[in-house]
Amino acid sequence: MLYNLFEFLENQYQLTGASVFQYTSFRAALAVIFSMGFSLVFGKQIISYLRSQQIGESIRDLGLYGQKEKEGTPTMGGLIIIFSTLVPVLLLARLSNIYIILLISTMVWMGLIGLFDDYIKIFKKNKDGLQGKFKVIGQVLLGAFVGGVLFFHPEVKVRVEFIASVNEIENKTGIFQNANDIKSTLTTIPLFKNNEFDYHKLISWMGFDSKFTWLIFIPIIIFYYYCSFKWS
């Protein structure tokens, strides 16, 4: 929101200093400050409110040391993390960016699943919470959505650098380096030296064209989302 506001002020009124919001590094630093400030200022208030409403963890008596100390711990404390992330994003990010849209969609979707889970535990007095099959369905649908957007959306591109030799003035040989953003099935694998992997290689041996790479790409994204939230 602030990004669009200051962009408008700069274009229409040439407001001094408004152009600083065009820099990603400035908005990222400001987002960190906003996020920390929100969690510090409102975090304690949210926890106190949840406790006042008796929205807390109930513990079975297993005779374990210190188990009673956890009783009453708010089970919806994840709201602090969600709001501490979404508020700076909504204020400072360029909301038309497809990656920001995916970030917001993913956090809201998984937040709703967690909300339903806690609601059933607390208000329906069901210790098991939301049934596992519904959690899996939610994660699969989210993975399919994110995978489909990443593969088919025209703004999701890969930056490819290339180096070429050119002839300069007086026939001197020089090196020209440039980078293009292209639609590609490449991905980056961290912690590896040659860290580019092409998803198309997984089906190219069967004679499939690159446009059919989504047949393997989307299931991999679904599996990734399922494992990420299963192990988190």
Most confident of 154-163, 170-179, 193-202, 210-219: 210-219
Task: With cut-offs at 50, 70 and 90, classify the pLDDT of residue 218.
Answer: very high
Task: With cut-offs at 50, 70 and 90, classify the pLDDT of residue 157.
Answer: confident
The whole-chain average pLDDT of the chain stands at 79
State the angle between helix axes of 214-231 and 132-152 in degrees (0 to 180), rounded to the nearest 10: 140
Task: With cut-offs at 50, 70 and 90, classify the pLDDT of residue 100.
Answer: very high
Q: What are 22-63's pLDDT values in tens digits? A: 888 888 899 999 899 888 888 888 777 777 766 655 555 555
The Cα angle at residue 144 between residues 86 and 112, in degrees rounded to 5: 40
- DSSP secondary structure string, the chain? -HHHHHHHHHHHH--TTGGGGG-HHHHHHHHHHHHHHHHHHHHHHHHHHHHHTT-B--------TTHHHHTT-BTTTHHHHHHHHHHHHHHHS-TT-HHHHHHHHHHHHHHHHHHHHHHHHHTS--TT-S-HHHHHHHHHHHHHHHHHHHHH-TT--EEEEEEEEEE-GGG-EEEEEEEEEE--SEEE-TT-SS-EEETTHHHHTTT--GGGTHHHHHHHHHHHHHHHHHH-
Within 8 A by CB and 6+ apart from 147, the residues are 214, 217, 218, 219, 220, 221, 222
Share of the chain above pLDDT 90, in %: 16
Task: With cut-offs at 50, 70 and 90, classify the pLDDT of residue 132.
Answer: confident
Higher pLDDT pick, 130 / 169: 130
Share of the chain above pLDDT 70, in %: 79
Q: What are 63-75's pLDDT values in tens digits? A: 555 545 555 555 6
